[in-house]
Amino acid sequence: MTKTIRELNRHYYISIVVLAVFFLIVIFRVIGFGTPVRVTMTAEMYAIGITLLLIPVALKLFAEKVKKIPKGTGKARTMKYYKDAWLLRMYIVNAVTAGNIFLYALSQSKNFIWLAVISFIVYMFCKPSCQELETVVGESEGVK
């Protein structure tokens, strides 16, 4: 169980570090992306809508996938279900964060910076924990 959590923590921290470095490179313009592209109000509204839709969907999807693990499932299989659900949630949040950073790099619109910051805040709700995994395994084995 701790091996699974260690692996998930590795994904968690690597994702945050890579995206934070990308964020800082874009903010401080270390790499030039050329002249900013003008983004229409419609495109910005879609980006805001997609971000604000995908974040709760990712969090809820994880909860639903974990909740739907069949009772009586073995420990190894339960950990696999948990890991798959966690990785799906993490990579949805990663895609949203990277997309907002990339859109800021292209357009220099401050809306995308704030959406990226919101996306980084979501990572606080995604950290894997051994206690949560133990609870999920206990519930799937029928132990309360």
Count of positions (residues) in the chain: 144
> Per the domain annotation, does 143 fall within a domain?
no
> Per the domain annotation, does 84 fall within a domain?
yes
Token pair, residue 75, equals: 């420990």
> Per the domain annotation, does 36 fall within a domain?
yes
pTM value > 0.95: no
Taking only the tens of pLDDT, the chain with its 144 residues reads 788 889 999 999 999 999 999 999 999 988 767 778 888 899 899 999 999 999 999 999 999 999 998 888 888 898 999 999 999 999 999 999 999 999 999 998 899 999 999 999 999 999 998 888 888 888 776 655
Q: Structural domain tally of the chain? A: 1
> Per the domain annotation, does 72 fall within a domain?
yes
> Per the domain annotation, does 144 fall within a domain?
no
Largest CA distance in the chain: 59
Per the CB < 8 A criterion, the answer to whether 79 and 133 are in contact is: yes
Domain that includes residue 128, residue range: 1-138
| Residue (of 30, 46, 31) closest to 99 by Cα position | 46
The separation between CA 34 and the C-alpha centre of its own chain, rounded to angstroms, equals 29
> Per the domain annotation, does 25 fall within a domain?
yes
Measured distance CA(86)–CA(136) in Å, rounded: 12
> Per the domain annotation, does 12 fall within a domain?
yes
